[in-house]
Structure 1
Amino acid sequence: MRLHTTTWGSGNRTALLVHGLMADHRTWRRVGPALAAHGYRVIAVDLRGHGASARAAGPEAYRPEDHADDLVENLPVGAELAIGHSLGGLVLSQAVERLRPSRAVYSDPAWHLAAGPCGYRPELFTRGKTLTPEQVKGFNPHWSDEELDLEMASVRDWDERTAHGLAPCVGVDLWPSRPAVPSLVALADPSSLVRPEHALMLTERGFELRTVKGAGHTIHRDDFDGFMSVLEGWI
């Protein structure tokens, strides 16, 4: 499926940005220009069902592997850097051997969707369509008014069926067995997706892990400076 892309900069190096569930390229509004200032041509996608990209026929076509295939179809092979957040981290990991970036950064990746009452439930995400700005601010107290406005716009443009497309992944082991390329995992503090025992497992498998203290799940929006600081040595 053809994806909408947004580009910042015109450097000799290429960086790829892949957003999470309910978001789109606008989530990278500060990261994109910052990487461009480091000499990158930065390409951010809107995953299928998000932003200005096309919609699939139904939830069954919103599987992680569908998103991963789209990345391979739409993004250049051999970029110097690829960053994926949450769902974007999951689908990037499923596409990384085909995209072959020099380095990959997985920001609080959704490699395991827990089952049970406190686990992943699509309806909790689809309710996002009905949240008021005040409610969204309550979940994200560190966000500026501009971030809040962009979030509301992104959610309005989001096809909530994508949340149901992830339902078959609940309880499934999607942890990568090894880093296909040198890989950094950036973690929220605490991370609800990568628990301490998972972090130890990933370290043993060859991933480098760094935590942004006090940051929520959307690290690059909760603490932009903290997010950029953990990328030191990777960009």
Structure 2
Amino acid sequence: MLVSERIGQFFVESESGRDRLEYTEYGAGDAWVVLLHGQLMPRRMHQPLARALAAEGLHVVTLDLLGHGRSDRPADPLLYSMTAFGEQVVALLDHLGAPQAVVGGTSLGANVSLEVAVIAPERVRGLLIEMPVLDNALEAGILAFAPILFSARFLPFTINGVRRLTRPIPRGIVPFWAGIALDTLDQRADSMAAVVHGLFFGRIAPSSKQRRAIRAPALVVGHPSDPIHPAADAEMLADELPNATFVNARSILEWRLWPDRLNRAAVGFALGCWKTPRRSRRTAN
């Protein structure tokens, strides 16, 4: 089923000025779903899922958070935090005229979705959480992102050099996920350092107490053998959220390369959120 796709933009104000954020809409109607990307990745990573959801009648929006994709990329680390990202999602809903949405995402996007549920619970119809980064990911996260921050801050020619090499490659001639990888490598050292610094030294996610107070229904997807996004974090989150369903992915690649099973779970969950305001707790295999 073909669905309409439209690119839009809106602006957010901060103490340092006015920044532009870009998004893509898929489909139409009042059953809104917002999908958020992983750290340093573009919103286009969720294009396949967005199309699958929109084909079932949902109105899906993918957003490039500040510092990512085609949105503005200021080089001020004070502009980057989970709270700021959560506020950008609320600003998107305001811009779209959407009273509520199912909000979800991967990795960084999962944590931002939790932030939205804390700062604006009345706007969240449900949560679609893949690979949250919580307590069990601390050490692996430091090992993964500390070298990136060091390179971007003190060896900027390495980041900018990779950008110069990868940017000219036409995305249309490479497989979809290779294109996403190339887009992720398309970074400026100054803004990349600011994003990683702002998140590295800020709070990663709402506290356990705040998470336990989230009443929105949630679908939590965890992956085995993923140190940066350990399955233990996803399982812990599913235990904390009062109305959560946990789905165990077969691997980190399943939703990327063999998406049918998880797409069906996401579609069923999102449609269910718009049919009923609450779901009872259960576990899926």
Query: Does structure 1 retain, via aligned residues, the 8 Å contact 2:35–2:63?
Result: yes
Q: Which residue of 2 aligns with 1:137?
A: none
| Alignment-derived partner of residue 138 in structure 1 | none
CA–CA distance in structure 2, aligned partners of residues 204 and 54 of structure 1: 37
Q: In the TM superposition, what is the alpha-carbon distance from 1:12 to its structure 2 partner?
A: 3.5
| Mapped pair 1:146 → 2:176 | yes
SS in 1 for 2:212: coil
The answer to whether the Cα contact below 8 Å between 2:110 and 2:129 also exists between their aligned partners in 1 is yes
Task: Quote the residue 2:9 is aligned against.
Answer: none
- Cα distance, 1:195 vs. partner? 3.8
1:123 aligns with 147
Structure in which a larger fraction of residues adopt strand: 2
From the two aligned structures, give the one with the greater helix fraction: 2
Higher mean alpha-carbon deviation, 115-124 vs 12-21, is at 115-124
SS across alignment from 1:102: strand
Count of residue correspondences: 223
Residue 127 of structure 2 corresponds to residue 109 of structure 1: no
Q: Is the partner of 2:251 in helix, strand or coil? A: coil
TM-score with structure 1 setting the length? 0.79
Amino acid paired to 2:252: A
Aligned to 1:166: 199
CA RMSD of aligned residues (A): 3.1
Higher gyration radius (CA): 2
Q: Hey, what's the Cα distance between the residues in 2 that align with 1:193 and 1:229?
A: 25
The corresponding residue for 1:71 is 89
Show the counterpart of 2:16. Answer: none
Residue of structure 1 equivalent to 2:66: 48
Equivalent positions of 1:32-43 (< 5 A) are: 32-43=50-61
Structure 2 CA distance for partners of 1:149 and 1:202, relative to 1, 3 Å: closer
Q: 1:92 maps to which residue? A: 113
Contact kept in structure 1, 2:222 and 2:235, CA below 8 Å: no
- Matched-pair contact (CA < 8 Å) for 1:5–1:45: yes
Does 1 or 2 have the higher relative contact order (CA < 8 Å, sep 6+)? 1
Distance 1:47 1:102 in 2: 20
* Gap change, CA 1:180 and 1:119, over 3 Å in 2: farther
Equivalent residues of 1:111, 1:193 under 8 A apart? no
Is 1:221 matched with 2:256?
A: yes
User: Closer, same or farther in 2 for the Cα pair 1:35/1:9, shift >3 Å?
Assistant: same
Moved more, 162-171 or 4-13: 162-171
CA distance in 1, matches of 2:215, 2:225: 26
Structure 2 gap ranges (5+)? 1-11, 13-19, 153-157, 167-173, 271-285
**Stretch deviating more after TM superposition (23-32 or 194-203):** 194-203
Contact 2:82 2:204 in 1 (8 A): no
Deviation at 1:46, TM superposition (A): 0.5
Question: Could you list the per-position Cα deviations for residues 153-182 of structure 1 after superposition, in whole angstroms to 9, with x for gaps in the alignment?
Answer: 243156412122211148887442343311
